[in-house]
Amino acid sequence: MELDYYRVAFRKKGKHALLTDAVTPFKAIRNNWRYWVADPFVFEYDGETYIFAELFDYLRRRGVIGYSKLGANGRFSRWKEIIVEPYHMSYPQIFEYNGEIYIVPETGSGRTLDMYR
């Protein structure tokens, strides 16, 4: 069973301008029975492409942070959890600084400002 509130979709940039490209189709990354996915953030590192996002967990009733990786076959992997806290998390902002990778998700419901390395 797959319940969908939101889905993340992607497409490779075609020959046309990104916003006016009506030719290159989007491909949705499937949600599974446990999560719907929102707030995507694309990150390229060491020649690999990742999408980090909020995974809204139906069992926990809150968002956790996860990712999907673009494979050599042109498809993204299943979503994987990477950060779980006892409060809702969303909008994972990811960046590299001095060779280290950091993630700063939105954590307002926990009344915190969290940064992960």
Q: Count of alpha carbons within 13 Å of 46, Cβ hemisphere only?
A: 4
Return d(Cα 97, Cα 87) in angstroms, integer: 27
The confidence score (pLDDT) of residue 114 equals 95
The confidence score (pLDDT) of residue 1 equals 47
The confidence score (pLDDT) of residue 15 equals 66
Return d(Cα 34, Cα 71) in angstroms, integer: 22
Only one residue has tokens 């494979």, namely 71
The confidence score (pLDDT) of residue 31 equals 87
The confidence score (pLDDT) of residue 23 equals 79
Residues in the chain, pLDDT under 70: 1-5, 14-16, 18
Return d(Cα 109, Cα 90) in angstroms, integer: 10
Whole-prediction pTM value? 0.86
Return d(Cα 20, Cα 14) in angstroms, integer: 10
